[in-house]
Amino acid sequence: MPIHNADIAKRFEEFADLLEIKGDNPFRIRAYRNAARVVEDLPHELAGMVEEVKDLTELPGIGKDLAEKIEEIVTTGSAQALEKLRKDLPPHITDLLNIPGLGPKRVRTIYTDLNVGDLDALKKAAEDGKISTLPGLGKKTEEQILEAIKAHADTSRRFLRTSVVTYAEALVAYLKKLKALKRITIAGSYRRGQETIGDLDILAVAKDAKPVMKRFVEYDEVADVLAHGEKKSSVVLLSGVQVDLRVVPERSYGAALHYFTGSKAHNIALRKLAQQKKWKLNEYGLFDGEAAVAGKTEEEVYKALDLPFIPPELRENRGEIEAAGKGKLPKLIELKDIRGNLHTHTKWSDGRNSVREMAEAAAEAGHDYIAITDHSKRLTVANGLDEDRLVQQMEEIDEINGSIKGITILKGMEVDILDDGELDIDDSLLKLLDVVIISVHSKFNLPSDKQTERIIRAMDNPWVTFLAHPTGRYLLSRPPYPVDVPRLIEHAKQRGIFLELNASHERLDLNDTYCQHARDAGVKITINTDAHSIPDMAQMRAGIAQARRGWVEKKDVINTRTLPQLRKLLQSTRGR
């Protein structure tokens, strides 16, 4: 069975979770979490490096012990140390960590005192009022746990799109080796760039469907074959993702691709346009009676309905058909439009690379500038910088700037918003920075009005550049904190500052609808990776997909500007 980077990362995350529940050494736990992020973001497969006997310790954050475990996982599918940890604890105890408010310490308390080791037992304990009897866990927490368990059940069959990319691309590459295959595309929510997906829909055109279906169900990463037909088959991969493959006639490929890409609401709206012409649109084509009008390509279908091609990311029936009819579709941003990254971390706080290494990687990626924005002192868990260390970092940036060809390093900081809306670093230093990011890392459970007022007060600081990850969510694990985002957007407009679309695949915060809201309000955004390592910089691609779903154009994003243009924009926020 091939082992992908995502598989190795999952095992390292499980190592960290189990060790943390056991109360192990925090440095050891952090090493596994860091390694998981490094592995997941690598542009090449580690299995290939193992096969070629490459030195894995050359990778950032990978020492001898971790390298040996990678080799063991690649060759055996697991690691003996992980198997031992699994035996020491209930098999589903890490599921409890997916419930907001339950960190490893609380999970350890619940397990030790109540012998609760899975979600079913947790739900029963909460319903019986046992959780609230534990130290540090009151009635309110118990109620929140029950709500979170219900929400978790609603999302448990969904996957982060970025975590599925490796499996999807590997499967398509495997199928493409078949000579009978003429065309193949992944459709569905995956093609629309949604943050999370439930399953994969793949469409293909082939000279003969039978060998395609045979090869598909015989794929060595298939865990279960749900159906094996002549033109459609369904399987579940070892990763848990269900995949449906359909082979369609070439004359219907465009219509089928449109139909299975969705969304359902977009398809219904387009079918109504066809009905106005007395035509019928379905997955087989666009028909006038029995006569085929279009169907071979998507462009052909849209053109027959007097519309230009509508990019898949916009197909949510949120005004795209009307905009297309008026010739007012946005010219969506592309990855090549990005000129720099304004939110990155280094070894000064919780990053894994030095300032120089991050800058060199940005230059190699073709960027013109990079902002170094390490955490401020309040975030002690991230080794946040106090005023003295910030001054030292600024001096280091001055020393490095100009020594790396093609890149300018901007001085910045991600400053914590304190409980009362004040900022974590004195204004006398903030005004010396090029980029001042503000963000919430605590008090997530404040009522919406108090959370909103807290953030607005922070936005009023005269040296703020932009608000980072405005809703604080982690996809599929932590919901957004209660906050009035439209009010934040309006305040950003009044203040003349910006909002971030955090491209970290776990965040993608702002969501697509808020991106569109900000764009319509005239509030510019910045798309940043929040990179804590060099591989994290590749997550910009996920941010671009999210921005495209939010109708965002190049002109709406500040880090598409040249450095002189950017400096002018940054300066416009200063001292207000």
* Backbone CA torsion sign across 376, 379, 384, 385: positive
Residue ranges in the chain whose pLDDT is less than 70: 1, 152-156, 576
Domain count of the fold of the chain: 4
- Mark whether 520 and 477 lie in a shared domain: yes
Final residue before a domain boundary, out of 278, 301, 325? 325
- Whether the CB-CB separation of 107 and 97 falls below 8 Å is answered with yes
- Beta bridge partner(s), residue 541: none
- Mark whether 321 and 379 lie in a shared domain: no
Q: Is residue 93 part of a domain?
A: yes
Phi, psi angles (nearest 5°) of residue 428: -60, -25
Final residue before a domain boundary, out of 273, 301, 325? 325
pLDDT per position as a tens digit, 195-223: 999 999 999 999 999 999 999 999 999 99
Q: Is residue 254 part of a domain?
A: no
Give 382-387's long-range contacts (Cβ < 8 A, gap of 24+).
382/345, 382/349, 382/350, 383/348, 383/349, 383/350, 384/349, 384/416, 384/424, 385/348, 385/349, 385/413, 387/425, 387/426, 387/429
Q: Is residue 255 part of a domain?
A: no
- Mark whether 343 and 435 lie in a shared domain: yes
pLDDT confidence of residue 214: 96
- Mark whether 390 and 404 lie in a shared domain: yes
pLDDT confidence of residue 103: 80
pLDDT confidence of residue 321: 96
- Mark whether 200 and 315 lie in a shared domain: no
Q: Is residue 239 part of a domain?
A: yes
pLDDT confidence of residue 27: 86
Gyration radius (Cα) of the chain, Å: 25
- Mark whether 528 and 441 lie in a shared domain: yes
Domain that holds residue 493: 335-572
pLDDT confidence of residue 382: 85
- Mark whether 60 and 141 lie in a shared domain: yes
Final residue before a domain boundary, out of 200, 218, 247? 247
pLDDT confidence of residue 375: 97
pLDDT confidence of residue 155: 56
Phi, psi angles (nearest 5°) of residue 414: -95, 105
- Mark whether 414 and 560 lie in a shared domain: yes
Instruction: Please tell me the chain's helix, strand, coil percentages from 3-state DSSP, rounded to the nearest 5.
Output: 50, 15, 35
- Mark whether 237 and 138 lie in a shared domain: no
Q: Is residue 330 part of a domain?
A: no
pLDDT per position as a tens digit, 505-550: 999 999 999 999 999 999 999 999 999 999 899 999 999 999 999 9
